[in-house]
Structure 1
C-alpha cells in the first residue's frame, strides 16, 4: 500500500467541542465498529452505550443513531463491594434479520442487547371520535367502525435479550464472540468462562489459574480473544508478559496444553518497573488469523502463530518515557491499559499514547503469502512450519537492530513512513491539520517535558474494510479517515 492510503485526516468529532469540565460518567471506555463498518458503538463510565450509523449521503461520516443505559451501579452486600456501571468492552454479533446484536460488559455482568427499529402506531379513527363531535348521533350497526391504527413514527429501540451474570468472582476484563456465532468467552483475573449465547444461566470454566493458596499467586489474566476463523482456538495474555494459544479440543481446562508465546529477557536487564511494564494490556489476532499483536506499556510485539519462541517484530512505544518511569509510577499512569488494533487487511497496526496522540504502523506485516480472500492458506502449528517462519523472519529483517527498534526496512514497506503519529485534539476541528504526513508526525512526536498523562488514547477501533478509525479521547469520539 502506498503512503497515500495512510494519509489520515480529521473527519468529524462527537462530544463537547468547548473546553468544559469533563464529567467522569462521560469518559468513553470502549469503542467498536461492527463487521460491516456501517455501525459504531461506544460505552462510557456512566454505563451508557451510544450507537452511530454510517451516513451514506456523505463521505466517511457517521450520525447519531441511539443511546441506552446498559449497566447500572450495584452493591455486592456479601463482599461490601461497589460494582461500577462502567462499560469495559462492547462486541458486535452478526445481525439477525433487521435486528442488530451486541454484547456489553461491566466488571460483573454481561448483557446481550437487541437493537431494532420499532414502529409507533396511534389510533387514527374510531367510533368515539365521531360521537364526541356529534353528541346526538347514536352508534348503530351500519355506522359502527373498527378502530384504525396508523404509523406515527419510527424509533430505534434497545432491549436486553439475555443477561449473563454470577459467573465471575473477579472483575471481567474482556469478552470475545466466537466465529461460530453461538458461543463467547469472558475473562476475569483468574478464570475464563465459555458461554452459549442461548444459555445465560450456564457457563463452562475453560481456564483456571487460581492457585490453591492465594499467597502463591504470581500472575493474572489480562485479556482473552477467540481466533477469527477457527472456532476451537482462543488465546489469553497474562501480567507476566506471556500469551497462551489454547485449543478447546485438547482438554476441558485448556491452559494445560497451551502453546506459550514468550520472549526470553535476560534478568540483567530487569529493573524495578520491569514486572509492571511487561504486563500485557491487550492482545489481538489479525483478521486473517495468522498473526498475534500484543501491547505492554513500552512495546508492541507481533507474533506468527506458528512461531512462539520470539516475535517477528518488536516496536518500541513512547521512547521518551523510558527515563521517566518513576514519574508514571507516582501518578499511576504506568498502570494504564493501552489497546492494540489491526487494520482490516491485517497489514498494519495502531495503538495509543499520551498527549492525545496515537500511532499507526503501516505495512508491518507481509500479507503477500495470502490467498485472494486474505486468509492464510494453512493454520499449521507443526515444527515444519515453525522453521519456515524462522527463516522468513531472517529474510524480513536485514539487521535485527532495525527490526527491534521498530524501524521497518524500506524494502518491506515500499519506502513508507515507519510510524504515523496523529493527535486527537480540539485543534483538529479548529484548523484542519496542515503539512505533509511526515511533517505532522514529526510535530506530534515532539513532546518535550510537557506530558499530559490524563490525556491518554486507550480505546479505539479500525474500520474493518477501509482506512477509517474511531478514537476515544476522554469524552470525545474522533473519526479520522484516509479516504
Structure 2
C-alpha cells in the first residue's frame, strides 16, 4: 500500500496574533523564532508556548490612519540580533534587537527596493536575472481576483530557483544555464519513487502529446508556498490542503 504520512503538532504557539501570520523565521541561535502579521512582529522562545515578546508594532492609534502593512520578516542567517521586515510601501527595514526591546526605530531603511522588484507580475528576479513566467497565465485570467494573489518569494538553492504557480504547477530555473522546467504537484504523480514529468501548456489550437490546453488550466488550484532543504535536494510544495515532498533521483 502507499505510504501515508500524518503530521501531529508537538507544540502549539497561540494567542499572539490578531491578523493572518505571513512570516515565520527561525533564529540562528536555535532557541528563538519570530512570527509576523500585518501589523506586528513577535519574538518567541521554542520552549515557551504561552507568551511572546512584541518587537515591532506599527498599528496606529486610529486605524483610519493606517498607511502600510508588514508583508514579510526574516532573521539574519548568522547574526541572531538582526532581522529585516518589508512593508506594502515597498520598503525594507533592518532592525537590531540590541538597540531596544521594541524595534520601532530601524537601523537602516531601503525605500523603493521592494516595489521595484515586485512590479513585474508573475516574474521572479534574482539580482540582475529575471525569469519570466509564461505569458498564457497573463492572458487567460479573469478581470478581477487573480492579480492580487500573493505568491511566496521564490526559494533559491545552490543551483536553481523554485517558485509556485497556478494549476498546482511549480517551476524550476537553472541559475547557470537559465533553462526552466514546469512540474505539477498532484496525487497521481506523487506515488513513491514516481518520476515527475515536465508539463507544457499549449496556447494554440492543435495540442501535442502530454501538453495541456490553456483553457483547461484550473486557476483555483495554486501553489503559494514552497520550501527547499538547506543542504539536500529535497523540496516541499504546499498545494491547497496537500503537502508534497520531492527529492532528486537516486540511482
For the superposition of Structure 1 and Structure 2, which TM-score range results when normalised by the shorter chain? 0.7 to 0.9
Look up the match of 2:124. 300
Q: Tell me, in whole angstroms, the C-alpha distance in 2 between the residues paired with 1:294 and 1:466.
A: 29
Q: CA deviation at 1:362?
A: 1.9
Map of 1:57-68 to 2, 5 A cutoff?
A: 64=4, 66-68=6-8
CA contact (8 A) 1:232 1:247 kept: yes
Q: Counterpart of 2:136 in 1: which secondary structure? A: helix
Return the match for 2:61 from 201, 204, 212.
212
Work out whether 1:425 is the aligned partner of 2:214. Answer: no
Aligned residues: 236
CA contact (8 A) 2:92 2:113 kept: no
Going from structure 1 to structure 2, the CA distance change for 1:165 and 1:221 (only over 3 Å counts) comes to same
Return the match for 2:136 from 320, 341, 348.
320
Q: Counterpart of 2:223 in 1: which secondary structure? A: coil
Q: Tell me, in whole angstroms, the C-alpha distance in 2 between the residues paired with 1:65 and 1:253.
A: 41
Q: Gapped runs of 5+ residues in structure 1? A: 1-13, 15-62, 71-112, 114-159, 266-277, 280-292, 303-310, 364-412, 435-439
Q: Tell me, in whole angstroms, the C-alpha distance in 2 between the residues paired with 1:262 and 1:313.
A: 21
CA contact (8 A) 2:21 2:35 kept: yes
Q: CA deviation at 1:432?
A: 5.3
CA contact (8 A) 2:81 2:96 kept: yes
Q: Tell me, in whole angstroms, the C-alpha distance in 1 between the residues paired with 2:55 and 2:81.
A: 12
Q: CA deviation at 1:350?
A: 0.6
Q: Tell me, in whole angstroms, the C-alpha distance in 1 between the residues paired with 2:17 and 2:86.
A: 18
CA contact (8 A) 2:236 2:243 kept: no
Q: Tell me, in whole angstroms, the C-alpha distance in 2 between the residues paired with 1:231 and 1:300.
A: 28
Q: Tell me, in whole angstroms, the C-alpha distance in 1 between the residues paired with 2:119 and 2:76.
A: 17
Return the match for 2:160 from 348, 364, 386.
348
**Deviations, residues 345-400 of structure 1 (Å, cap 9, x unaligned):** 3x43211111221111222xxxxxxxxxxxxxxxxxxxxxxxxxxxxxxxxxxxxx
Normalising by structure 1, report the TM-score. 0.42
CA contact (8 A) 2:93 2:106 kept: no
Return the match for 1:224 from 58, 73, 76.
73
Task: Select the structure with the greater relative contact order (CA < 8 A; seq sep ≥ 6).
Answer: 1
Q: Gapped runs of 5+ residues in structure 2? A: 204-212
Look up the match of 1:456. 222
Normalising by structure 2, report the TM-score. 0.75
Q: Whose radius of gyration is greater, 1 or 2? A: 1
Look up the match of 1:336. 149
Going from structure 1 to structure 2, the CA distance change for 1:423 and 1:208 (only over 3 Å counts) comes to same
Q: Tell me, in whole angstroms, the C-alpha distance in 1 between the residues paired with 2:49 and 2:7.
A: 24
**Deviations, residues 26-56 of structure 1 (Å, cap 9, x unaligned):** xxxxxxxxxxxxxxxxxxxxxxxxxxxxxxx
Q: Counterpart of 1:254 in 2: which secondary structure? A: coil
Going from structure 1 to structure 2, the CA distance change for 1:254 and 1:451 (only over 3 Å counts) comes to same
Map of 1:151-190 to 2, 5 A cutoff?
A: 160=11, 163-190=12-39
Look up the match of 1:377. none
Look up the match of 2:231. 465
Q: Tell me, in whole angstroms, the C-alpha distance in 1 between the residues paired with 2:70 and 2:164.
A: 21
Going from structure 1 to structure 2, the CA distance change for 1:320 and 1:168 (only over 3 Å counts) comes to same
Work out whether 1:481 is the aligned partner of 2:210. Answer: no
The answer to which structure has the higher helix fraction is 1
Runs of 4+ displaced beyond 6 Å: 293-296
Q: Counterpart of 1:215 in 2: which secondary structure? A: helix
Q: Counterpart of 2:64 in 1: which secondary structure? A: helix
Q: CA deviation at 1:179?
A: 1.0
Q: CA deviation at 1:453?
A: 0.7
Look up the match of 2:174. 362
Map of 1:398-409 to 2, 5 A cutoff?
A: none
**Deviations, residues 89-118 of structure 1 (Å, cap 9, x unaligned):** xxxxxxxxxxxxxxxxxxxxxxxx2xxxxx
**Deviations, residues 276-326 of structure 1 (Å, cap 9, x unaligned):** xx69xxxxxxxxxxxxx9898523233xxxxxxxx444433343344456x
